[in-house]
Structure 1
Amino acid sequence: MHITRFEQAPTYFPPEHHDMRCLRLQGQEAGPSDTLWLGMSQILPGGHTLLNASPIEKLYFVIEGELTVETPDGESILQPFDSCRVAPNEARALKNKTNKPVIVLLAMPLAAARQERAPAR
């Protein structure tokens, strides 16, 4: 078993994420994992990601606040305990349009994350 204490969870800084604090809870810098990594994002009021796609499936679970998820088809609002899947190559933007912070749990495949970070040849 591997435990990551919240107070010791390492931060990470994904590109095109604005007014967000992102923590690794399991996998990658946070410790061993064979198949996926788990992160948590705290999105400040007005915080957001840009609308773009990646080849990696993403699963989001809202812990606190109200998260707007935008895709090319429109916007959906997620409340606490709502979740969504973003398919590989599906464009998405995360937005906090409220005056309260949003806390979101993120799960992503680990092997794909390694491929995304691999240097170009």
Structure 2
Amino acid sequence: MHVTRFAEAREYQAPGHVAMRCLRIQGKDAGPSRAMWFAISTIEPGGGISASTSPLEKVYVVLEGSVEMTSRGESVTLDRWDSCRIAPGADRAVANRSALPATILLAMENDGAAEQPA
């Protein structure tokens, strides 16, 4: 068992992320995982992730607030507890268009760059 206390989660910076605080809670530098890693991010009003493409599958879950997800020319607003899968190779952008902060959970395939032994 590997426990990460939220108060001790490591912050990381990601390209194209604006007005966001990203905390890795499992996988990569937060602990062992061969398959995936998880992060919790807070997105301030007006913040988000600029459009980009990744070869890795991603799943987003809105924990608080609402965000606009855009992929392949389609935009949808996700509210609390809604989720969205972004297929490998698909573009995605995320925006907080509300007046309140939003919190999201990201689950992403592990790219192998920082795998830890089990």
Same-fold call, TM > 0.5?
yes
Supply the distance in 2 between the matched residues of 1:59 and 1:10 (Cα, whole angstroms): 20
Paired-residue identity, %: 43
Q: Which residue number corresponds to residue 33 of structure 2?
A: 33
Q: Secondary structure at the match of 1:3?
A: coil
Gapped regions of structure 1 (runs ≥ 5): 116-121
- 1:118 aligned residue: none
- AA at the equivalent of 1:84: C
8 A Cα contact 2:71 2:86, kept in partner: no
Contact 1:56 1:113 in 2 (8 A): no
2:82 aligned with 1:82: yes
- Distance in 2 between residues matched to 1:76 and 1:35, nearest whole Å: 28
Instruction: Write the distance in 2 (CA, Å) between the matches of 1:51 and 1:94.
Output: 8
| Aligned residue number for residue 59 of structure 1 | 59
Distance 1:91 1:34 in 2: 24
Aligned length, in residue pairs: 114
Pick the structure with more helix per residue. Answer: 1
1:1-121 matches, cutoff 5 A? 1-110=1-110, 112=111, 114=113
TM-score, normalised by the number of residues in structure 1: 0.90
Letter in 2 for 1:69: M
Structure 1 stretches of at least 4 aligned residues deviating more than 3 Å after TM superposition: none
Q: Distance in 2 between matches of 1:58 and 1:68?
A: 15
Residue type of the partner of 1:76? V
**Matching residue's letter, 2:86:** V
Alpha-carbon distance between aligned partners in 1 of 2:55 and 2:112, rounded to the nearest angstrom: 9
**Kept in 2: contact 1:4–1:25 (CA 8 A):** yes
1:46-99, Cα deviation, whole Å (9 max, x unpaired)? 001111111111000000000100123221000111001001111110000001
Q: Secondary structure at the match of 2:51?
A: coil
Mapped partners of 2:50, 2:36: distance in 1? 23
- Code of the residue aligned with 1:21 in structure 2: it is R
Measure how far apart 1:113 and its partner are: 5.4
